[in-house]
Amino acid sequence: MTRKQKKSLCSIILSAVLLVVAKLLGNVAYVTVSLYILAYLIAGFDTLRKAFRNILRGNVFDENFLMAIATIGAIIIKEYTEGVAVMLFYRVGELFESIAVGKSRKSISELMDIRPDRATVIRDGEETVVSPDEVEVGELIVVAPGEKVAIDGIIVDGSSTLDTSALTGESLPRTAAIGDRIQSGFINLSGVITIKTECTFETSTAAKILELVENASSKKTRSEAFITRFARYYTPAVVFSALALAVIPSIVFGNPLSWVKRALIFLVISCPCALVISVPLTFFGAIGCASKKGILIKGSCYIEQLSKAGTVVFDKTGTLTKGSFSVTAIHENGIGKQRLLELAAISESRSSHPIALSVIRAYGKKPDQSQISSISEVSGQGIIAQIGDDKVYCGNSKLMNSIGIDTPECHRQGTVVHVAVNGQYEGHIIINDEIKEDAKEAITLLSQSGVRRTVMLTGDSEAIAQRVAKELCIDEYHAELLPTDKASLLEKIIEEKDSDSTVVFIGDGINDAPVISRADVGIAMGALGSDAAIEAADVVLMDDKPSKTAFAVKLSKKAISIARCNIIFALSVKLLVLILGALGYAGMWLAVFADVGVSVIAICNAMRTLRIKE
């Protein structure tokens, strides 16, 4: 418990003791009344203070005002026990709410703990401890065992194991050595490592993630927006209805004390705490649960959208497959395999595409870029480079066809990179990409969670797309797509969807930003450090596991179900007891249950989102 919660608990206990003593004393008039009033003030001081402060600010009609009016009225008409008990139980409900919100915040605060306090930077040959904000791009920082990595960068010295759980949700440590790129927020577990920074702290992964989490609660669902609007009109309506209940029947039927008591009971019953607390808590808990699993949801509105997912569209490379290509075969027409690979590596040396990097790795040397006098990229086809005296074409069959070359049929599975020199076909390189271990599980789980249609979009060949789609049991696929084709196809898929469902797109965050932003819900897969993905996506998966998408959908459906259950339960109970109270069949104790009891039950139900498992 926090200090504030402990103080609240002490007030509740002291007030309860005084209430019991007052009841036991019975008819000792002045002493008994004094004890009742003291018990009331101890229990209700915070509520009365909030009500008075809000009135001064112009926010008259809220739950604090309702409780203050109802309980002060009970004291005035000498219903001391009921007045104190109502305030006492209201404080118990508030304490319970505070503890529940605290538990929901815990998973968020654990993620917020990724913020590094300091960075050890090497300047003029000496190590200096500075604030992460002071470290510039290209500087060297030293991370000792037990310290957080302050800024994204590449390891230039040393090796270690890293705890990535705060960002990825993965419990197993990850090994890292020279040349590996690591993100801020990771915790160094063993050896000392030196990192060359690639960005400033403001643009580092930790800072971006913290900003996402801090802003997540600002984007509300329609359910939350409904509750906000509902409370804005509901509370004044209740106050004036209670006033009418106290005045009009008293004039018509007489016996004003009885009608005033009914009006006070009516006020206690009508307090909208259960709705105002439990619905936002449900979504807040879901966001916290997701963050513990390495899933960052930018706002509760996206939980609502995910819960209605009917079609899930996947990019292939880097999403369903690992994106780490390897050269599996080389076929040449007389210039030699090494020369063919050299020309392809030099042509691809200025590209960061996974296929280009795999060709360079297979070449085994640093390509001599000084041989390039000119280079141009043909979108969706390949690269044309002037290398020395040779004009080299390196790309797919579309590029070859554009210069009048018919490519030979290839019987090997994989992505084919064709190479032509000075208009003459010289051979091709076959590259393969492995399917991720949990990709098939992801498709199966999505189907089980109610997703009716799965689609795969790829720029790869028809044969590769067909093989991957068949292996993963994907409903449909579209191959040999240019980047603009993906956007067009997604537009068509969105037009075809049912009115009550949404389209989710999952991409690797490198070149899918336009499509991610167009989907009803855009998910960036394995997008640590990718500005485009984090900016465009509504949900960011902190690792490369597509199966996390299925959990996000499951979590969203459960959260929406819990929120709706709370709304129906709270409104039904309150409506029933309000009618009974107005007719004189509900006493103050039933009113307490309709307020505090319903709130506690709704909060307990909302907290179930914290315990949803994969």
Annotated catalytic residues are: 315
List of residues 6+ apart from 410 with CB closer than 8 A: 331, 416, 428, 430
List of residues 6+ apart from 168 with CB closer than 8 A: 294, 542, 543
Six token digits for residue 525? 């897969």
Pairing status of strand 476-478 against strand 453-457: parallel
Total number of residues shown for the chain: 614
H/E segment holding residue 34: helix 29-56
**Main-chain dihedrals φ then ψ at residue 178, nearest 5 degrees:** -55, 130
Rounded CA Rg of the chain: 32
Is residue 144 classed as helix, strand or coil in its secondary structure?
Answer: coil
C-alpha 438, offset from chain centre: 21
The residue with tokens 């300091």 is 118
Instruction: Give the C-alpha separation, 159 to 190, whole Å.
Output: 8
CA-CA-CA-CA torsion sign (589, 591, 597, 601): positive
**Bridge partners, 377 (sequence order):** 383
List of residues 6+ apart from 197 with CB closer than 8 A: 135, 136, 137, 138, 139, 140, 141, 151, 152, 153
**Bridge partners, 455 (sequence order):** 313, 476
Is residue 372 classed as helix, strand or coil in its secondary structure?
Answer: strand
**Bridge partners, 311 (sequence order):** 453, 503
Long-range contacts of 532-540 (CB under 8 A, 24+ apart): 533/507, 533/508, 533/509, 534/208, 534/212, 534/509, 537/298, 537/509, 538/297, 538/298, 538/299, 538/302, 538/305, 539/295, 539/296, 539/297, 539/298, 539/302, 539/306, 540/212, 540/295, 540/296, 540/298
Instruction: Give the C-alpha separation, 377 to 372, whole Å.
Output: 14
Six token digits for residue 196? 């060359």
CA angle at 37 for the pair 34 and 39, rounded to the nearest 5°: 105
